[in-house]
A = this chain, B = another copy of it.
Amino acid sequence: MYSLAEENYIKAIFHLQQQKKGAVSTNAIADSMETKASSATDMVQKLADKKVLSYVKYKGAQLTQEGRKTATTIIRKHRLWEVFLVDKLKFHWDEVHEIAEQLEHIHSTELIKRLDNFLGNPAFDPHGDPIPDEHGNFIKTEKKLLSQLKKTQFGVCVGVKESSPEYLQYLDKKKISIGTKINVLGKEFFDGSMVIEVGRDQFFISKKIAENLYVQTQ
C-alpha cells in the first residue's frame, strides 16, 4: 500500500514515460508534480528502495513491472470513476477530473470490480481515453481525424479541430459528443464522404465534417 504522495508520483512518472520512451528525469517529474527538483529526487530515491522504479543518479527513473501495475491500477480507478460521474451522476465530462483525482486513491479491489460491473465494463472514459483492464492492459489508441479512418474501422470522439457554433450544433444534432463511438460503414474515394453509425443511427457525412473531428482508435 502506497501513500497518497507516492501514488501521485507513480502515476506522473507513468504518464511521462508514455510521452517519450526511456528514463524520465527528476526535473520532468518535479515539473509535472508542481514541486521542486529536490523533492522529486527524494521521492524517486524512496521509490527505488521500494522497487517501484529503477533509478540511476543523474540519469532518471523508470518504473518496474510493479510500478507499472500500480500506475495502471490508479489510472483504471480514475477513469472508471469518471465514467460513473458522467454516466450516473450526470456531470459534464469537463467537470470530473478534480473529483476523480481524489476518488482514484480509494483502496478496495472489490469496490473497483463492482464499480466496473455496475458501469457495464466500459472500455473508454468520458474523454475517450481507454480504461486499462484489471491486469493493466490498455487498448492501444491513437488520435486521428475521423477522415483518416477506413471503412469498417471505428473511433471514439475525443475532440474537434474546428469549434464554430455551427459545427458544434451539427454534432449536437447528430448526438456526437466526447466519448461517442463512431463506426465507419462506408467511404467514398471520389469526395471523401462517409456513411457512419452513431448509436443506432446511420447517416451520411461530408469530408468537411469528417476532417474536423478527432477520434481515438485502437
Q: Mark A100-117, 1 if CB is under 8 A from B, else 0.
A: 001101111011001100
A interface secondary structure, majority: helix
Is A167 in the interface zone, CB < 8 Å from B? no
A residues 73-109 in Cβ contact with B at 8 Å:
85, 88-91, 95, 98-99, 102-103, 105-108
Is A118 in the interface zone, CB < 8 Å from B? yes
- Which chain B residue lies CB-closest to A102? B106
Residue of B102, B107, B108, B111 touching A107 (CB-CB under 8 A):
B102
- Which chain B residue lies CB-closest to A81? B106
**A residues engaging B (CB < 8 A)?**
85, 88-91, 95, 98-99, 102-103, 105-108, 110-111, 114-115, 118
What would be 6 A-B contacts, judged by CB atoms less than 8 Å apart? A89-B114, A89-B115, A99-B111, A102-B105, A102-B106, A102-B108
Q: Roughly how many angstroms separate A98 CA and B110 CA in the complex, as a whole number?
A: 12
Residue of B91, B103, B105, B118 touching A114 (CB-CB under 8 A):
B91
Q: Is the CB of A99 within 8 A of B88?
A: no
- Which chain B residue lies CB-closest to A95? B110
- List residues of chain B with CB within 8 A of the CB of A118: 88-89
Q: Closest Cβ of chain B: how far from A100's Cβ, in Å?
A: 10
- List residues of chain B with CB within 8 A of the CB of A115: 89
Q: Roughly how many angstroms separate A99 CA and B108 CA in the complex, as a whole number?
A: 7
Q: Is the CB of B103 within 8 A of A89?
A: no
Q: Closest Cβ of chain B: how far from A160's Cβ, in Å?
A: 26
Q: Roughly how many angstroms separate A118 CA and B95 CA in the complex, as a whole number?
A: 17
